[in-house]
Amino acid sequence: MYGKGLRALSLATTVVLTGAFALVFFYAPNDADQGFIQKIFYVHVPMAIVALCGFIAGGVMAIAHLRTRAQKWDMRSYVAIHLSLILGVGVLVTGSIWAKASWGHWWVWNEPTLVSFLIIFLLYACYQPLRFSIEDPERQARYASVFAIIAGAFVPLNFLAVRLAQAYTHPRVLGTTGGSLPGDMRLTFLVALAGMVLLFVTLWKYEMTSKHAAMQLRALRRKLAGDEAPVRAAGRSAAPAATLHARPDTH
Amino acid sequence: MRRTVAALLRKDVLLELRTKETVPAMALFAVTTFVVFHFGLNRGSVSGDLAAGVFWVTLLFAAMLGINRLFVAEREQGGFDAFLLAPADRTALLVAKTAALFAFLSVLELVAVPAFALLLLQPSVWPALPALVGVLALANAGVAVVGTLASALAIQTRARDLIAPLLALPLLIPVVLAAAKASTPLLLAAGPGTIAARWPLILGLYDLVFALTAYAVFDFLLED
């Protein structure tokens, strides 16, 4: 169900990402101020944008879960948030490298975007512990959705507060919006952003496909072996529990 | 709705008056933290942004104690079941608990502000007091709403004492940030200056957004 179009999507992702890196290295000019290191911008900023959008998408999917009570929306929300968390680690690492290279410190507190991102990352880092510590799968899905909605509302508010708190910001060579970029840099940035979006969607679909297939497999096994079959305990995981097709058989 | 809220709030206040479990502990914690700051910073007095930082961090951690305990009676004595059995709007519990936490925080500050003025604050607290009370009220509202949400999320988990602060701390960073920025000019050694209008505005916006979010999602935390 989620596997449809996966091959085409994977191919598109590979092509666009390869193209983006080719543009980054061979087409976009070196920044006059920061030189070669500025090129990390084409990885760092798209990754941050996609991670934030992924968090918010997770919140929107959580709303869908609370409205429909369909387990698939909880699964979708979970996968979106957990992929965004992985991207978030990448954002903090690349941001740190960029800060070290251009300002000489691994962490700078007067870069509001990076600081806001850290706060949001710390908040979402509680998502998995929260899921872990609720046993009942239905309640786990419900509470995780409530968390995802609260955190999704927190994202823009936090950016606003931290941005206002900076008396002065570093002279921003490059705005995060890309609005102030010269043409060839902007093109490269947009292609890199498209590549990152495609990568996120592809990974999301892959994980959904894999989880869905594992669920179906487990349900089929249970059906074949009957009720008494020892159900192999799934490894400790915060992922939504597999209950697909399993309910009617167990009663 | 109003009568349900009043009844629930009365129950919480009565419970606190009889057991004295939460607020005295919060107040004691705050005063002890001021003493710890005295030794940690190795200073006899603070002013300006350092004073605002010490004050708000202390209040935040003291509030955490109250947030952790907010729903414990409901959970352990079957209060949730009783409330769900009653034909009452579930939002009433959110409003009552937020009001209770707001009241607890206000009482905490009745102790913490004089203690801070006495122990650490270099300038006199009197000229700053009216504006400080306004900032405290706005910040209390934010802490009360978010604290109630975090507490309700954490209470049903296995590790609730760990989950509640982990959830509440990052969510409350904007409150501490805006409240500390707003009170910095009030606590200057040279006497209180004026607050930039954007900090109360941020606090108000934060209170509003989370009040609406809490209203939207709280019902889903009470369905068992």
A134 to B156: CB separation less than 8 angstroms, yes or no? yes
Q: Which residues, 6+ apart, have CB-to-CB distance to A191 below 8 Å?
A: A16, A19, A20, A23
Task: Tell me the backbone φ, ψ of residue B79, rounded to 5 degrees.
Answer: -65, -35
Q: Is residue A249 predicted with pLDDT exceeding 50?
A: no
Encoding tokens for residue A156? 């823009």
Q: Is residue A247 predicted with pLDDT exceeding 50?
A: no
Angle ∠(A242,A248,A251) on CA atoms, nearest 5: 110
Q: Which region, left, alpha or beta, applies to residue B5 given φ > 0 means left and ψ of -120 to 50 means alpha?
A: alpha
Q: Nearest Cβ partner of A134 from B157, B173, B213?
A: B157
Report pLDDT for A245: 42
Q: Provide the ipTM.
A: 0.90
Amino acid at A218: R
Calculate helix-pair angle for B91-119, B129-155, nearest 10 degrees. Answer: 130
Report pLDDT for A183: 80
Q: Is residue B138 predicted with pLDDT exceeding 90?
A: yes
pTM of the model: 0.88
Q: Is residue B204 predicted with pLDDT exceeding 70?
A: yes
Q: Is residue B197 predicted with pLDDT exceeding 60?
A: yes
- Is A67 part of the contact surface with chain B (CB cutoff 8 Å)? no
Among the residue ranges A238-247, B109-118, B124-133, the one predicted with the least confidence is: A238-247
Domain ranges for chain A, please list them. Answer: 6-225+236-250
Share of chain B above pLDDT 70, in %: 100
Considering only CB atoms, which chain A residues are within 8 Å of B220?
A: 66, 142, 145-146
Averaged pLDDT, B150-164: 89
Share of chain B above pLDDT 90, in %: 69
CA distance A156 to chain B (A): 11
Q: Nearest Cβ partner of A165 from B158, B166, B177?
A: B177
B220 to A133: CB separation less than 8 angstroms, yes or no? no
Banded pLDDT at B21 (limits 50, 70, 90): confident
Averaged pLDDT, A226-245: 61
pLDDT, tens digit, 9 for 90 and up, residues A93-148? 999 998 888 888 888 887 888 889 999 999 999 999 999 899 888 999 999 999 99
B209 to A157: CB separation less than 8 angstroms, yes or no? yes
Q: Nearest Cβ partner of B158 from A133, A164, A165?
A: A133
- Is A15 part of the contact surface with chain B (CB cutoff 8 Å)? no
Q: Is residue B3 predicted with pLDDT exceeding 70?
A: yes
Considering only CB atoms, which chain A residues are within 8 Å of B181?
A: 165
Please state, in angstroms and rounded to a whole number, the distance separating the CA atoms of residues A147 and A239. 15
Banded pLDDT at A177 (limits 50, 70, 90): very low
Distance set, CA A199 to CA A20, A27, A203, B143, B186 (Å): 12, 22, 6, 38, 50
Banded pLDDT at B40 (limits 50, 70, 90): very high
Considering only CB atoms, which chain A residues are within 8 Å of B171?
A: 123, 150-151, 154
- Is A154 part of the contact surface with chain B (CB cutoff 8 Å)? yes
pLDDT, tens digit, 9 for 90 and up, residues B68-86? 999 988 888 888 888 888 8
Q: Is residue B37 predicted with pLDDT exceeding 90?
A: yes
Among the residue ranges A34-38, A166-170, B163-167, B199-203, the one predicted with the least confidence is: A166-170
Banded pLDDT at A178 (limits 50, 70, 90): very low
Nearest Cα to Cα of residue A240 among A109, A111, A116, A148: A148
Q: Is residue B8 predicted with pLDDT exceeding 70?
A: yes
3-state SS, residue A172 = coil
- What residues in chain B have their Cβ under 8 A from chain A's Cβ atoms? 149, 153-154, 156-160, 162-163, 166-167, 169-171, 173-174, 177-178, 181, 198, 202, 205-206, 209-210, 213, 216-217, 220-221, 223-224
Report pLDDT for A248: 40
Please state, in angstroms and rounded to a whole number, the distance separating the CA atoms of residues A224 and A218. 10
Produce one character per residue of B196-219: b if its CB has 16 or more CB atoms within 10 Å, e if not: eebbbebbebbbebbbebbeebbe
Q: Is residue A171 predicted with pLDDT exceeding 70?
A: no
Radius of gyration of chain A (CA): 21
